[in-house]
Structure 1
Amino acid sequence: MAAYLSPLSRCLVKYMITDTLPTPSKYRCLARRHVLRGYPPCTSSSPGSSCPTQSPASRFCSHSKSVGLYDSLVHRGLLKEDGQQRHVLQQLAQRQRTLKNYCNSIYLNPSAPNEEPRDGSTNLNNGKDPKLRETQNEGDASPEKEEPAPPPPPPPPRGFYIYGDIGTGKTMLMDMFYSGVENGCKKRVHFNSFMLDIHKRIHQQKQSLPKRRLGKMFTYDPISPVAMEISNETCLLCFDEFQVTDIADAVILKQLFETLFKTGVVVVATSNRPPDDLYKNGLQRDTFLPFIDMLKDYCQTICLDSGTDYRRLDQTAAGKLYYLTSEPDAEAFVDVLFDELALRQKSVPGPRVLTVQGREVTLEKTCGSIAFCTFEELCGRPLGAGDYLEMARVFDTVFIRYIPMLTLTLKDQARRFITLMDTFYDHKVRVVLLAAAPLDQLFVHSGGEDMRDRQLLDDLGLRGEAGERLTLFTAEEEVFAFQRTVSRLMEMQTERYWTQGDRSNSKTQTNTPEVHPDKHSPPHSVLLQPEFTNGK
């Protein structure tokens, strides 16, 4: 992910709240000093509503085109010149112009508001007797002709599906594109968070149904109404880390995105997988394949793979944040580091209960915005993306102790750990780890067969090669995804990342314990200014 400078955002929010706009000279001054981040999506959700007037922040974007911003950052030494990145950004910049003031209302309401239906269901004579209409037409030399149907709307703009190896800059380019789109109806979200929201909306749709009466059967499809809700809220969706590992997601994606695409929603996504490898060897993958074809029809596929993981280059460490249990006194060092950071809080250590969708998740040791957890607490229990999102909202620093060597027999825990790190990385949560093995050796593709897998294979009636291919049992998807986790954890140990995660002066945190300002610096290090890096 790309990093941004926060003072500009606070300045612009202040101007928008007071409704007092800065002068053009002040805008130019801000442009020289800061990098602009994307702005919140359109909040209008009424069917057929048009996109709102652009905010001052959106108008400011027009002064900083993506390619120019990229070249400026390269010139200032904040980015390294990468020909592939620049080529991709040029293609994205063309779509920025297309999406300026774009609105998908014509796809939501294709008929004109005052247009009469052509299905014969209403009286075509404005309440008069149809027989009278026929009598009047009998002697008419030029009978009244039915108006021709209006032409269909043009196809909506195509989106982009950008894939490539880890750390090559996919997210950074998508964020530059998103920031430069002069349109208020846009939304940028991590794909895990998006799917979590989809499942919540589907649940709410089902809850709103009338109770089924005895002996009365009916079927109801909640996916299309949910897709229409989203189409009414936004016309541009940008996804980070598009991936499909769950059969529940795979089942609903085709119908969900078919409605989104047909109602004019433009999708821009990043992924480590090419489209044809999505949900590779997944359970019932044949039913998922039509979604891949549809995705390639509505999104231009771009490969960004320069062979360089920029997260691993020129990174200044923030101090020792990854400890091995085999190191002498490693656990004691972690305890001391927690005590040092806890002293800067306005709270005392103790347990904390988080409420997630009506469930309670208890963490045994926390202090203000710091959590002191074990691997078993976070990944040994049946927790998911929703639980981790709530932790990311409440805590800015999380200690994770006693991480074991992750083998095939622990692939459920490995899946949760990957989701946990994706969520923490996306929300700039800082982590201190105590693990049984070095980071690049933490996940191994071995460890024997899980008896639960064997039982499930027997229940599904799968034998031999058919069962061996399924990633549900081989952990192939986890092995692939863990490479991204390793790359991200490398970056999460840098000074720049630690600085970005400092929420001591942030006003975006709500319902969290107050912390002392300017006291969340990494131990034994000097703070660095946040900036873009090629590999985010």
Structure 2
Amino acid sequence: MSPARPVIRLTDRSPSITGAEIAAELVPPPQFEHASFESYRPDPNYPSQLEAVEALHEFAGVWRAQRPGGFFSRNRKPKAALPGIYLDGGFGVGKTHLLAALWHQAPGRKYFGTFIEYTALVGALGYAPTVKLLTGTQLICIDEFELDDPGDTMLMTRLLGELMATGTQVAATSNTPPNALGEGRFAASDFLREIQALSAQFRTIRIDGLDYRRRDVEGSAVSVDDDALGRMVAGMGEKGERVSLDTFDGLMAHLATVHPSKYVKVIDALDVIALSGVHELHDQTDALRLVAFIDRVYDAEIPIIASGFPLSEVFDETMLAGGYRKKYLRAMSRLIALTTGELPPHD
């Protein structure tokens, strides 16, 4: 019988990350590895969902036109009228699935990442080297384009402007801006206003639909007592599973010292994450760090076991009534899934 694996502490991990490593991670998360237009199931009660699929097929037509077959080939299609497309939908209507499906359609060099991953790439490489790295890319997909930091928005707009001028196509979704209390509201006008000079380069595709995650957050994350947590961690270690164990306060303090772009390496090669002493948060900065961390854990599909407060209830009432409500609801949904072992519908 092999010896039990030692318990890992996330707080002992202070990783570095290079621009090349960030770029290598710019692919759809594992749960969207096989996303396609065919596997997207449009709701017949919302015709705009099928219309969105058709619009994305049209957007991808330029790539089919570029495939071998000669100038007069019947496969040639007219070039997409605009180099950018923006998926404007409410909460939980499948925007990320469709964005990943589009990415899979694109030939050649292409990247898929969240807004924060692209800004982290610029931070790691510098602006000019990032432009050089991404120039010649067929498609840039940006999931959850952040609209709440004017500096980062201007940086990304400038970057995309330079890339689109050289022929790169861009597809994006966005978060609802701060102070937009209705998390299901459409954000196209905000997106187009913030990207200013680039707005004329984007076609906006509106996607209506039910808010699946609102139903998901009616449940609660699973919590166990401290003794049970200890037994579970020990048992997993004896089975050879790679388990981390940290106090909730310890993890929150550690996340404050690590850039969110590095969270993916903090949780590298783990089978399970265990947290003790979970409690309600009252500091919004801490709460937003936890959201960013949970996004990475969810993408990696690593289960969480925890004692104390149910993790889906750590965001206080003030946070849930504020401008970042949409982010917190998404995190709550994901925390329920991660502690119950059931993945919810994807945005």
Identify which of 196, 202, 205 aligns with 2:120: 196
Whole-Å separation in 1 of the counterparts to 2:148 and 2:31: 30
Identify which of 234, 249, 252 aligns with 1:376: 249
Report how far residue 396 of structure 1 moved.
Answer: 3.4
Report how far residue 159 of structure 1 moved.
Answer: 2.0
Report how far residue 250 of structure 1 moved.
Answer: 3.4
Report how far residue 445 of structure 1 moved.
Answer: 4.4
Whole-Å separation in 1 of the counterparts to 2:212 and 2:155: 33
Confirm or deny: 8 A CA contact 1:174 1:268 kept in the other structure. yes
Whole-Å separation in 2 of the counterparts to 1:482 and 1:92: 29
Confirm or deny: 8 A CA contact 1:385 1:423 kept in the other structure. no
Identify which of 115, 127, 132 aligns with 1:228: 132
CA shift in 2, pair 1:84/1:400, >3 Å: farther
Matched position secondary structure for 1:398 = strand
- Structure 1 counterpart of 2:235: 340
Percent identical: 20
Whole-Å separation in 1 of the counterparts to 2:88 and 2:244: 34
Normalised to the residue count of structure 2, the TM-score between the two structures is 0.72
Q: Deviation per CA, 1:55-75, whole angstroms, max 9, x where unpaired?
A: xxxxxxxxxxx55x24xx75x
Report how far residue 297 of structure 1 moved.
Answer: 1.8
Confirm or deny: 8 A CA contact 1:191 1:242 kept in the other structure. yes
Confirm or deny: 8 A CA contact 1:310 1:534 kept in the other structure. yes
Q: Which amino acid aligns with 1:173?
A: L
Whole-Å separation in 2 of the counterparts to 1:322 and 1:241: 28
Q: Deviation per CA, 1:328-373, whole angstroms, max 9, x where unpaired?
A: xx1222222212221121xxxxxxxxxxxxxxxxxxxxxx632112
CA shift in 2, pair 1:100/1:290, >3 Å: same
Whole-Å separation in 2 of the counterparts to 1:164 and 1:155: 22
- Structure 2 counterpart of 1:93: 57
Confirm or deny: 8 A CA contact 2:111 2:141 kept in the other structure. yes
Whole-Å separation in 1 of the counterparts to 2:149 and 2:304: 26
Report how far residue 199 of structure 1 moved.
Answer: 0.9
Q: Deviation per CA, 1:97-136, whole angstroms, max 9, x where unpaired?
A: 1233659xxxxxxxxxxxxxxxxxxxxxxxxxxxxxxxxx
Pairing 1:236-251 to 2, within 5 Å after superposition: 236-246=139-149, 248-251=151-154
Matched position secondary structure for 1:406 = coil
Whole-Å separation in 2 of the counterparts to 1:5 and 1:243: 21
Matched position secondary structure for 2:315 = coil
Matched position secondary structure for 1:257 = helix
Report how far residue 495 of structure 1 moved.
Answer: 3.8
Whole-Å separation in 1 of the counterparts to 2:91 and 2:306: 22
Identify which of 406, 412, 420 aligns with 2:293: 420
Confirm or deny: 8 A CA contact 2:29 2:300 kept in the other structure. no
Whole-Å separation in 1 of the counterparts to 2:193 and 2:322: 23
Whole-Å separation in 1 of the counterparts to 2:273 and 2:132: 38
- Structure 1 counterpart of 2:166: 263
Report how far residue 494 of structure 1 moved.
Answer: 4.7
Q: Which has the larger radius of gyration?
A: 1
Identify which of 225, 245, 263 aligns with 1:388: 263
Matched position secondary structure for 2:267 = helix
- Structure 1 counterpart of 2:72: none
Does structure 1 residue 305 correspond to structure 2 residue 177?
no
Identify which of 78, 81, 100 aligns with 1:175: 100
Q: Which amino acid aligns with 1:342?
A: G
Report how far residue 228 of structure 1 moved.
Answer: 3.3
Q: Which amino acid aligns with 1:390?
A: K
Report how far residue 247 of structure 1 moved.
Answer: 5.5
Higher relative contact order (CA 8 A, sep 6+): 2
CA shift in 2, pair 1:264/1:5, >3 Å: closer
Matched position secondary structure for 1:492 = helix
Q: Which amino acid aligns with 1:335?
A: G
CA shift in 2, pair 1:167/1:487, >3 Å: farther
Q: Which amino acid aligns with 1:443?
A: F
Whole-Å separation in 1 of the counterparts to 2:327 and 2:32: 29
Report how far residue 414 of structure 1 moved.
Answer: 0.7
- Structure 2 counterpart of 1:21: none
- Structure 2 counterpart of 1:348: none
Report how far residue 395 of structure 1 moved.
Answer: 2.0
Matched position secondary structure for 2:324 = helix
Report how far residue 193 of structure 1 moved.
Answer: 2.0
Does structure 1 residue 483 correspond to structure 2 residue 335?
no
Whole-Å separation in 2 of the counterparts to 1:534 and 1:83: 19
Confirm or deny: 8 A CA contact 2:222 2:340 kept in the other structure. no
